[in-house]
Chain A
């Protein structure tokens, strides 16, 4: 079993739809949960992060963590064509003295159709 699993998609939705992207994980020690967005032929960029369980909202984006189920989600409201990208979830156990290992999911490809 991979440490972090993510449905690769592709996911195609009409403009304005609510999008739900999900990841599951196996390591119960993970405490920091991140979502990276990667446009085609670009490097990933950090979109949102949350610590431990709960929700975090930033504009049209909401990140949700359910540690009891080892499941995280990213919701995109009023999706736009500019949201078309690959979304990578990422996780870490927490800040260490030197290196904080980050495990990335394989990414879900999203297309928002005008």
Chain B
């Protein structure tokens, strides 16, 4: 039982490049989330998927897209990376409607 896994762990991009962050959970959770964490800002929600087949914008969605591939997997795509997207990205999952979220280990992204 791996919980929530994320790939890659680290990534360096040049401005304008694109990439996809992958997330998978094996807890049979309905809901999945993407957050970014910046110093002094706390965790900010980028997108979430309350259940398979649905996705919605969070607090800071600009510059990102998501895909809920199936119940287990939720990916985050940066189409044209910008230095402002340098951050640590966390994926999380939960039972539908629950406040209790389980987080992955994070992806550290640097955009130069």
Contacts from A to B (Cβ < 8 Å): 4, 6, 8, 32, 34, 41-46, 49, 88, 90, 92, 94-102, 104-107
Asked if B99 and A106 make an inter-chain contact with CB atoms under 8 angstroms apart, the answer reads: no
The answer to the question of B103 belonging to the interface, with a C-beta cut-off of 8 Å to chain A, is: yes
Number of A-B contacts (CB under 8 A): 61
Q: How far is the CA of A96 from the CA of B98 in the complex (A)?
A: 8
Would you call the interface of chain A mostly helix, strand, loop, or mixed?
Answer: loop
Query: What chain A residues lie within 8 Å of B56 (beta carbons)?
Result: 99
Question: What residues on B are CB-neighbors of A46 within 8 Å?
Answer: 100-102
Q: Across the interface, do B42 and A43 meet the contact criterion of CB distance under 8 Å?
A: no
- Give the interface residue-count category, chain B: 20 to 34
Name the residue on A nearest B41 (C-beta).
A106
Complex interface: chain A residues within 8 A of B75 (CB): none
The answer to whether the Cβ of B104 comes within 8 Å of any Cβ in the partner chain is: yes
- In the bound complex, how far is the Cα of B100 from the Cα of A104, in angstroms? 12
- The answer to whether A97 touches B101, judged by C-beta atoms less than 8 angstroms apart, is no
Task: Rank and list the top 8 A-B pairs by shortest CB-CB distance, nearest first.
Answer: A43-B103, A106-B42, A98-B50, A104-B43, A104-B42, A92-B99, A99-B50, A32-B99
Q: Are A100 and B43 in contact (CB under 8 A)?
A: no
